Amino acid sequence: MPIDLTTTSAAIAAWGPVEAQLTVEGNPPGSDGWKFARAQFENELEGLATQIAEAGPDQIPVVARSAASLVQGAWTVAGSVAHVSALIAGASSEPPAQLIASTTGILIGIMAAVAPATAGIGSAIVAGLGIALQMLGNAGLLGGAPKGKEICPGVYVDPPPDWVVGCVGFRSPAGNGQPIAGPVSSIGGGKTTPNPLWARFPRPGRDKAWFTPGYLAAGLPGQKPGRWTRKIDVAWPQWAWLEWDVAHPDARLGDLQRAYLTAWKANAERAMNGQKAAPDEAVLAHVLRVWNYAHASAGAGDVTLTQQDLPDWTRVSDPPAHGPYIASLIRSMQGQGLTDAFGLSGGAVVHMGPRLSSKVAPIAVHLGHLGAAGARPIPVRLGHLFPRAGIGGAKLAIGAAVAAALGAAAVAMRRR
């Protein structure tokens, strides 16, 4: 019988800082905000319960902290401010592996509301546990090998690849045909390190072959000439639109477009590593949610995204007038119920007020109501609540003395 992870001392300790943060943000125990966050925390742990025996009892504190970090990053103001700041910064550089893991973990964790089989996978990815690969397989989130050498009409690869993205074949970096579990690996003691086997999204300066026209000289059925013959466009036809958007950002939505690009690339890396990526509209729902958590509403000044279909772009020159790529996803995002699943009560409304600031939980948090009556206050050492990874950010005061840096790996709490 699976262990009830929610009652373990590790889970109680991991939940403490999250509850403290929710409380100072106006969501004390028993409030709707607290209930929502607590439900996600328990959902993650319940999803991991059947797998923890394989990982080993010593991993219970690790997965408890990982589940707590997902909730912290997804459903607190402090976590959302850090996360959206890191996503914006990540558009102009290669995001650190921990940010990719956190973004992926939060996205999968929230998707559990509409896909219960994914519960717990997000925490396993953030923790860098090997059980994530089996859990992804059980949930049907691993890509399959092509049935033959023809991976797209008229496109042949010999020997057949292990999986396909668009019309580009990939071989497993592990050399065994197996997908890769996640961008970080556990090295024991609750520590994680970048997974050297995880394939990263192509960068123009480093991966020139992906951006050089002529990858398929004859083109593909339905493909456009010119820029669409690049390898990156054969894998992701929408890349040309995203690339254009970031080079020519909307006057008001530029930062949102940059945040979306980083989250989109994190999701695309899943496909490169043999996993089934979430649909683009789910990525948008995630970015809108974290953006609105991190920004105040401007009332009538907020922007409501409406469906704007992309025009036909058949020439190598600049595209005709069009809205942002994200606006082309609104109909499918709302049609699939993703606005409700991601807590977007206002639908596709973008808060245009200032970036929020949040008080941070005091050093000592009383957890007696979660444990035995009369339990002592448990000191919660938040320290660097969000670790640095080369990208600076705002600093928040913890109590009166401790500063927490909001860095690029923003949603993962330092393992204590």
Residue 274 covered by a domain: yes
Residue 169 covered by a domain: no
Q: Which residue has the higher pLDDT, 39 or 314?
A: 39
pLDDT computed for residue 399 by the predictor: 22
d(CA 405, CA 416): 16
Residue 241 covered by a domain: no
Q: Is 347 a residue whose pLDDT tops 70?
A: no
Residue-wise pLDDT tens digits, 246-256: 999 999 999 99
DSSP code per residue over 216-256:
TTT--TT--SGGGGSHHHHH-TTHHHHHHHHHS--TTTHHH
Residue-wise pLDDT tens digits, 271-302: 999 999 999 999 999 999 899 989 999 999 99
pLDDT confidence bin for 396, thresholds 50/70/90: very low
Residue of 37, 98, 86 whose CA lies nearest to 405: 86
Q: Is 319 a residue whose pLDDT tops 70?
A: yes
Residue 125 covered by a domain: yes
How many percent of the chain have pLDDT more than 90? Answer: 31
pLDDT computed for residue 113 by the predictor: 64
Residue-wise pLDDT tens digits, 5-32: 777 888 899 999 999 999 999 999 999 8
| Number of independent structural domains in the chain | 1
From residue 83, how far is each of 32, 51, 86, 111, 123 by CA, in Å?
22, 28, 5, 18, 16
Residue 74 covered by a domain: yes
Q: Is 94 a residue whose pLDDT tops 50?
A: yes
Query: Which range among 2-11, 224-233, 291-300, 337-346 shows the weakest confidence by mean pLDDT?
Result: 337-346
- pTM comes to 0.81
Q: Please, what is the average pLDDT of the chain?
A: 77
pLDDT confidence bin for 224, thresholds 50/70/90: low
pLDDT computed for residue 190 by the predictor: 67
| Residue 274 amino acid letter | G
Span 169-177, mean pLDDT?
Answer: 88
Residue-wise pLDDT tens digits, 56-67: 667 788 888 888
Residue 246 covered by a domain: no
Residue-wise pLDDT tens digits, 189-212: 668 899 999 999 999 989 999 988
Q: Is 217 a residue whose pLDDT tops 60?
A: no
Residue 29 covered by a domain: yes
Q: Is 403 a residue whose pLDDT tops 50?
A: no
Q: Is 108 a residue whose pLDDT tops 50?
A: yes
Residue 225 covered by a domain: no
Q: Domain span at residue 11?
A: 5-142+181-198+261-295+357-405
pLDDT computed for residue 314 by the predictor: 60
CB neighbour class for 59 (10 Å; exposed up to 12, middle 13-18, buried from 19): buried
Q: Is 242 a residue whose pLDDT tops 90?
A: yes
pLDDT computed for residue 49 by the predictor: 77
Residue of 386, 289, 395 whose CA lies nearest to 17: 386
